[in-house]
Amino acid sequence: MKGKEIPFNLPTVDELFTTQAERDDANREKVYEVPLSEIDPFPNHPFVVRMDEDMASMVDSIKQYGVIVPTLARVKEDGRYELVSGHRRKYAAELAGLETLPVIVRDMTFDEAVIAMVDANLQREDVLPSEKAFSYKMKLDALKRQGQRNDLTLSPVGTKLRTDEMIARETGDSRNQIHRYIRLTELIPEILTLVDEKKIGLRPAVDVSYLPKDEQTMLFGTMECELCTPSHAQAIKLRKFSEEGRLSADVITSIMTEEKPNQKEHFKISTEKLSRFFRPGTTKEKMEERIIKGLELLERQERNRDRER
């Protein structure tokens, strides 16, 4: 009777001359001290490294304790290191006078590095609109490229997800909001800065992003001259005129100098101060009418006094 054939695999050289513990240790990620001079920033890194109070505190901490949390990098084709996350720590280490940086070196493709870089930085609380704009675009493009190669956009249950749906689930921003942010990448830098400074809202900025760059430049010039920024209604008008081929410098000025409802000046007097002049239950309209009549009477009396002098 012929017995059941049992497959037999020859051990590899590593299996013959190393223990399992040694093999596990070799596969475990390690932290290396890498010279700062050999570490390059991530290409087109969308997150701003700011010299602020937090950075000053980080520098002081590093001077005292060193860099406690390792950064993450990958090895480039030229043998240098490309920083994936930890740009603020690297800058603080440079300011603190360190020569090396603790780095976890991971074998990653460029697209994997993009996704890791974006995910690590979006955890911050003070992410600017421009940072979200470029990071969402970079991650969306990377996910799409991965999906084209090996269908990595599949969910665990095998249902195909849109890449923007994946980002929406991870960030809390809706798909539409993600695409609004990505539209900001079409703004000229001067206008994008105003969005970061909260001088222009997201919705009007999105409509302005549809203007060609030369028209955006004209708009920015008008904003500087008139000391104004577009409301959502004005941005919609600008976009409409642009799409019709009728947007000129004069049209931009005309639209931007329109009075906005929230720019009308209001003079307020508390009801408590006015109550002794009116009967209880008097409407605001009646109060306003009587105040105007009183001011008109006062104005006539003052004119009469001027004539008698």
For residue 145, tell me if it sits in a domain.
yes
Number of domains in the chain: 3
State residue 151's pLDDT score.
41
CA distance 177 to 165: 11
| Claim to verify: residue 171 and residue 214 sit in the same structural domain | no
For residue 115, tell me if it sits in a domain.
no
The pLDDT tens digits for 179-203 are: 999 999 999 999 999 999 999 999 9
233: containing domain: 188-260
| Claim to verify: residue 206 and residue 161 sit in the same structural domain | no
Domain boundary among 186, 203, 229: 186
| Claim to verify: residue 46 and residue 79 sit in the same structural domain | yes
| Claim to verify: residue 241 and residue 254 sit in the same structural domain | yes
Residue 73 pLDDT greater than 90, yes or no: yes
pLDDT band at 172 (very low <50, low <70, confident <90, very high): confident
| Claim to verify: residue 44 and residue 55 sit in the same structural domain | yes
Find the range with the poorest average confidence among 42-46, 106-110, 121-125, 214-218: 121-125
State residue 306's pLDDT score.
67
| Claim to verify: residue 168 and residue 214 sit in the same structural domain | no
The CATH number that applies at residue 42 is 3.90.1530.30
| Claim to verify: residue 163 and residue 178 sit in the same structural domain | yes
For residue 293, tell me if it sits in a domain.
no
For the chain, the average pLDDT equals 83
CA distance 110 to 82: 10
For residue 122, tell me if it sits in a domain.
no
For residue 73, tell me if it sits in a domain.
yes
| Claim to verify: residue 132 and residue 155 sit in the same structural domain | yes
For residue 44, tell me if it sits in a domain.
yes
**pTM exceeds 0.85 for this model:** no
State residue 297's pLDDT score.
81
State residue 268's pLDDT score.
63
For residue 280, tell me if it sits in a domain.
no
| Claim to verify: residue 173 and residue 202 sit in the same structural domain | no
CA distance 88 to 216: 32
The pLDDT tens digits for 104-142 are: 999 999 999 999 999 998 888 789 999 999 999 999 999
CA distance 190 to 117: 26
Domain boundary among 218, 233, 260: 260
3-state secondary structure the chain: CCCCCCCCCCCCHHHHHCCHHHHHHHHCCCEEEEEHHHEECCCCCCCCCCCCHHHHHHHHHHHHHCCCCCEEEEECCCCCEEEEECHHHHHHHHHCCCCEEEEEECCCCHHHHHHHHHHHHCCCCCCCHHHHHHHHHHHHHHHHHHHHHHCCCECCCCCECCHHHHHHHHHCCCHHHHHHHHHHHHCCHHHHHHHHCCCCCHHHHHHHCCCCHHHHHHHHHHHHHHCCCCCHHHHHHHHHHHHCCCCCHHHHHHHHCCCCHHHCCCCCCCHHHHHHHCCCCCCHHHHHHHHHHHHHHHHHHHHHHHHHC
61, 233, 238, 257 from 260: Cα distances, Å: 49, 9, 15, 9
| Claim to verify: residue 134 and residue 201 sit in the same structural domain | no
